[in-house]
Structure 1
Amino acid sequence: MSAIENATKLKGEGNTLFGQQKYFEAFEKYSSAITFDQENAILWANRAACNFHLKKYLDASSDAKKATTLDPTYAKAWGRLASASQELGSWQLAVSAWKSALGSLPAQNLSSSELKQKDQYATALANAENVVREREGRVAQTLNYRDGTGAGRDKLPWVRAEKMLPELRLMGREGFNSCAWVIVPAAKELAEGMEMLKDLKTHTGPGGRQMLLGRLGAIERITNAIIREERVFHISDPNFQDLYRKQVMFEAQVRNAWTDAGPESVISEAQERLNTKGWDDVRPALSLTVRAWIFRAFLTSGLDQTHGPAVEFYQNAVDLLERGRKIWSNVPDDQRGAVFSETFVRGVKAQLVDCYMQAYNSKPGKDADFPLERMATLANDLIEDAEKNMPDQNASPGWDRDEINAFYLYPKGTGYAVKGFYHMQMAKYMVDGEEDIHQQIVNAAESYRDAAKSYPHDDEKRYWYYNCALGALWRGHAPLGMTLPVCEVIREGLPKMRRIWEHSQLALGGANMAFKATLEFEEDVRKEIAERRFTEDSCASPDFACDPKK
């Protein structure tokens, strides 16, 4: 049997399995067929469809792109590339692919199936274009809110924090218990990366070929900043998205990084390249690949508010890094790259855990696409990792406080906060009267308090999570003897916190109103206690509810 005959036979078997919704088995058949006929666009497009149904959208995009390269007139391949791009949050690419899908259909005398395709593609294109417009609006809002060069600069948390550094230094050891030591260097590294984006130029080379020329390292600086402290991220250039996209293209070309493949393919190809080119070639390629995934997830979640695709990119990054740490366990970090360091991986895991919670919350419920049980597992693993590897600062004086905060305490705080959210959700979906409801609420309050204690005394998250703990206590009808001390902690800490975070996104997005309500509640019930209408054994709660997902 010839290679083409083998490919045709396997393709037929794959089609049968696909029709039975056995997508993994169909994927295996199409993959085998491709080994016999690598130039067959239909095989690549069919495997893309399998990956799509398996929710491996990056691999689906890669296969569909291969199919369109082999046959640029293949409408279904363009449609599958567009669908995968949407799931990955790549809406500009989706718009372009939907247009290509429409352009690949016959101009006239369309069959009934082609007419149906045309209607589907046209509707999908209109939806994608609408998302792009909405995204541009969100970018504009980000520019207005966080203009790093405009009149609102003095309100930015990192600007306020930097002005406090001389005062904090004079305070000695006590002054190191401040979030300023994390946020200031993170903001500076972000600014360096953003400035480097502006240096990228388009150069016309020999034969009129367009080339990108710029400085390497912008993506490294930007991702370092958000891994250390994501709250510093802001956009002060309306052309940021285009600049960033071109910078990734430029660095990927120079580094020979992977732009489409998933973790399995990247690891496999990296091992092959190591045998011929060594770590000096592979290290920067792996670093850029991982960092591009991380920042793509960050933007998709933050700007598009589409958290599902972001979870996939974060998970891809974690999978590649953890596999790489095992495969190349004997290779020191200075050879395999900083992205494989324990602290960097923990920082990515913290972002994954937080994004997973947001993905669940976008469509919550017992049968959610992002199950609560998985969320709890991710949170517990993150907490355990941070606590188990916490350095002894007395034995290791080289560890700076900002490193401890950014890569141990903050991730631990994220893990406990997500645990608090998990327990509140579990209580919400239990049947009234179940004994475990009260225990879930108690667990939520304890988790939120543990999260709060993971942040410095002037960090907004410390008091936000105390407020979330308070909300859980109110939900559990805790006596005032338990809730008032938490109110007191919040009241005493707010002035210190507001010196930095008074105008933060969290503050303006609802935290200021929640804190105000908490203080009014405390004042009212203390008055009631003073007038002997309440005792510390009384149960009371305000008219507002804490929103633990913030």
Structure 2
Amino acid sequence: MPDAVTLAVQLKNEGNALFARRDYRAAHHKYTLAINEDDNNAVLYANRAACSHHLHNFLDASADASRATDIDPTYAKAWARYAAARGSLGDETGSIEGWRRAIDALPRENRTPAEVRQLDQYQAELATIERRLNRRNNEPARGTRLSAETTPWTRATALLPELRASQQIMSSAFIIWGAFEEWQQGLNAIGMQRVVGGMMSGYVGAIERLCSAIMRDTRVFHLTAGFISKYNNQVQFEVNMTKAWAEGGTDIIIPELVRRQQLEGWDSARPAIGTTVRIYIMQGFMESHIHQRHAGGVEYVGRALEIIRWGNRTWANVPAADRGAVFGDSFMHGVHAVYLDVLFEAAVNSPRRYLDLLEKEAQALLHLDVAHMSANDHNDPGFIASFTTYPRAIAFSMMGYCHAQKAQKLAGGNSEERETSKALYQDAARAYSSAATSYFKDDEKHVWMLSCSLTNSFHYRAPLSVTLPLMQQIRDRLPVAQKIWEFGMLSQANSAQLRRVVDFEAEVRGAVEAGRLSMDSCVMLGDRI
């Protein structure tokens, strides 16, 4: 029987053969078996990193390549694979460091032809990533900054007594207020950080509160002075306290989670994985919305959702008190909605890469059974909507976007393609209408979904019997939503468009009353009437 090292070499060679045939999943498995026999071999980790990269599992690729460089800091290919993984995650700074270390690890003289080719490749990759970082540094950082008096949560809080007195619980005020309460609790917890004698102390649970706030309503995210540095310190503190995973994707974390649960029990596994997935969700959201690193956003939130889906299936019969909230249906539903959010941002920037995935995930969410929640189980009715109807609204809106993008591509084609385009615009209008119905009527998103439905109805040349009622709904709901959302980012960005719709409706109604148009007429915004 071969010893462990000999078996590891045999498994590595089998993995290499599979890799050469581009069977990256099978090769990854062989390298994993080899690592189980010889876990101090830099080549095995670097090879598995290459497989993960080809499988677009960039967090796993980064973690394995990093492990390879820990074992052998002079291994140029390992540094190159680390650099490539960090670049694919949108981490230009980490990628630049990796490419520089890869270049430094190559011989300075008497290079072989292969090493010369490596050097040329690494230098070219370094130059490319440096240019990308320079472009990004010249772009303004994103993140909501609002005055305290005009924030939606401030306005919502002022409306709550009236809403409660009249038992009007179907209001977005409860959603954004609940999200802000959690966000503020998270900020307060971060403020408890102290460094005494070189040791950091603080409150474990800040990440949970911040993540819950984002899942309730992503619009609550806003930057305050020093937030990023304080948040990063909190992440490190909670990782240390809960023994959470700071790196790696599903191929690394899930097997280690299983081992930890088996060896140390739920009291160890539950806080570790709970902290891990929440950190990944927050990291992905910030990558997408602050830094516009959309690949990183999709990767982090996507891997968190993959872990959650796995745990939800695998430990379905484990009591919730043991496995933790992160593997529950409602949590999974909420994370799925955040995943759609970052996928949408990515699809807008790279439609060829992400549009199909966005549509697939939106369909998947709509096919899920909404977790049953009782209002008696929670202190605020907004919680229920945040994890049931609002995720469905998001999914419907993403379906509308995907249909509209496909329709736009075909609109200038032959007659058959134009007919398909028209049908797709009609599908988009229906999806946006379903999204509007799923949002509360005083939500800016409700009004905007009506507007999106109207726009797509114009594109398929719907008659006034369809478009005029939509315009009326926009006119009626706009002032209601503005009580809370007048200074929200979405409302501010689209206020001029919505006012044009209101003005156009008045013009159209005048034309109908004068007999120049009928309810069968097809007109759209911008037409002369």
**Which TM-score applies when normalising by structure 1?**
0.87
Distance 1:85 1:185, change over 3 A: same
> What is residue 333 of structure 2 aligned with on the other side?
346
Distance 1:132 1:236, change over 3 A: farther
Shift of 1:4: 3.7
Q: Secondary structure at the match of 1:458?
A: coil
The residue type equivalent to 2:90 in the other structure is G
Distance 1:249 1:451, change over 3 A: same
The residue type equivalent to 2:455 in the other structure is G
**Aligned partner (choices 455, 469, 474) of residue 490 of structure 1:** 474
Q: Note the alpha carbon deviations across 1:79-112, whole angstroms, 9 max, x for none.
A: 2112112222333332332333233334555555
**2:207 matched to 1:219?**
yes
Distance 1:328 1:25, change over 3 A: closer
Question: 2-side partners of 1:165 and 1:139: how far apart?
Answer: 36
Moved more, 180-189 or 262-271: 262-271
Question: 2-side partners of 1:293 and 1:5: how far apart?
Answer: 38
Shift of 1:140: 4.6
Identify unmatched segments of 5+ residues in structure 2: none
> What is residue 169 of structure 1 aligned with on the other side?
164
Q: Secondary structure at the match of 2:239?
A: helix
The residue type equivalent to 1:173 in the other structure is Q
CA contact (8 A) 1:102 1:121 kept: yes
Once the two structures are superposed, the pairs formed by residues 57-96 of structure 1 within 5 Å of their partners are 57-96=58-97
The residue type equivalent to 2:277 in the other structure is V
Q: Secondary structure at the match of 2:523?
A: coil
Question: 1-side partners of 2:97 and 2:448: how far apart?
Answer: 42
Moved more, 441-450 or 280-289: 441-450
Distance 1:397 1:227, change over 3 A: closer
CA contact (8 A) 1:293 1:313 kept: yes
Q: Note the alpha carbon deviations across 1:138-187, whole angstroms, 9 max, x for none.
A: 67553xx515xxxx2222221222222233233x123x222111111211
**2:187 matched to 1:194?**
yes
CA contact (8 A) 1:146 1:156 kept: no
**Aligned partner (choices 447, 450, 467) of residue 466 of structure 1:** 450
The residue type equivalent to 1:407 in the other structure is F
Question: 1-side partners of 2:480 and 2:163: how far apart?
Answer: 12
Q: Note the alpha carbon deviations across 1:202-234, whole angstroms, 9 max, x for none.
A: 4545xxxxx433221111111010011110001
Q: Secondary structure at the match of 1:173?
A: coil
> What is residue 395 of structure 2 aligned with on the other side?
415
Question: 2-side partners of 1:184 and 1:525: how far apart?
Answer: 38
Question: 2-side partners of 1:16 and 1:468: how far apart?
Answer: 51
CA contact (8 A) 1:139 1:303 kept: no
> What is residue 433 of structure 1 aligned with on the other side?
415
Would you say how many aligned residue pairs link Structure 1 and Structure 2?
Answer: 522
Once the two structures are superposed, the pairs formed by residues 215-254 of structure 1 within 5 Å of their partners are 215-237=203-225, 239-254=226-241
Shift of 1:9: 4.1
CA contact (8 A) 1:226 1:233 kept: yes
> What is residue 43 of structure 2 aligned with on the other side?
42
**Cα root mean square deviation, aligned:** 2.7
**Aligned partner (choices 145, 151, 156) of residue 156 of structure 1:** 151
Moved more, 78-87 or 225-234: 78-87
Distance 1:56 1:383, change over 3 A: same
Q: Note the alpha carbon deviations across 1:251-271, whole angstroms, 9 max, x for none.
A: 111111122232244333223
> What is residue 175 of structure 2 aligned with on the other side?
182
Question: 1-side partners of 2:127 and 2:193: how far apart?
Answer: 32
Shift of 1:321: 1.5
Distance 1:13 1:326, change over 3 A: closer
Question: 2-side partners of 1:4 and 1:382: how far apart?
Answer: 46
Question: 2-side partners of 1:402 and 1:258: how far apart?
Answer: 31
**2:265 matched to 1:271?**
no
The residue type equivalent to 1:414 in the other structure is I
Q: Secondary structure at the match of 1:529?
A: helix
Q: Secondary structure at the match of 1:415?
A: helix
Q: Secondary structure at the match of 2:200?
A: strand
Question: 1-side partners of 2:377 and 2:25: how far apart?
Answer: 51
Distance 1:389 1:250, change over 3 A: closer
Q: Secondary structure at the match of 1:154?
A: coil
CA contact (8 A) 1:135 1:303 kept: no
Shift of 1:303: 2.0
**2:470 matched to 1:476?**
no
Distance 1:112 1:268, change over 3 A: closer
Q: Note the alpha carbon deviations across 1:317-349, whole angstroms, 9 max, x for none.
A: 222122212322232222221212221110001
Question: 1-side partners of 2:338 and 2:469: how far apart?
Answer: 31
Q: Secondary structure at the match of 2:353?
A: coil
CA contact (8 A) 2:355 2:402 kept: no
Question: 1-side partners of 2:302 and 2:260: how far apart?
Answer: 24
Distance 1:105 1:241, change over 3 A: farther
Identify unmatched segments of 5+ residues in structure 1: 206-210, 545-550
**2:429 matched to 1:449?**
no
Shift of 1:62: 1.4
Distance 1:122 1:501, change over 3 A: farther
Shift of 1:117: 3.8
**2:324 matched to 1:329?**
no
**Which TM-score applies when normalising by structure 2?**
0.90
Question: 1-side partners of 2:9 and 2:372: how far apart?
Answer: 56
CA contact (8 A) 1:255 1:281 kept: yes
**2:289 matched to 1:302?**
yes
Distance 1:134 1:228, change over 3 A: farther
> What is residue 515 of structure 1 aligned with on the other side?
498
**Aligned partner (choices 222, 236, 248) of residue 261 of structure 1:** 248
Q: Secondary structure at the match of 1:153?
A: coil
Shift of 1:284: 0.5
Moved more, 355-364 or 285-294: 355-364
Shift of 1:391: 4.5
The residue type equivalent to 2:202 in the other structure is G
Q: Note the alpha carbon deviations across 1:13-54, whole angstroms, 9 max, x for none.
A: 433443343323332333333334322212211221111111
Distance 1:355 1:503, change over 3 A: same
Question: 2-side partners of 1:505 and 1:129: how far apart?
Answer: 32
> What is residue 145 of structure 2 aligned with on the other side?
146
CA contact (8 A) 1:413 1:454 kept: yes
Distance 1:269 1:4, change over 3 A: closer
> What is residue 208 of structure 1 aligned with on the other side?
none
Question: 2-side partners of 1:164 and 1:131: how far apart?
Answer: 46
Q: Secondary structure at the match of 2:276?
A: helix
Question: 2-side partners of 1:369 and 1:245: how far apart?
Answer: 30
Distance 1:245 1:79, change over 3 A: farther
CA contact (8 A) 1:138 1:303 kept: no
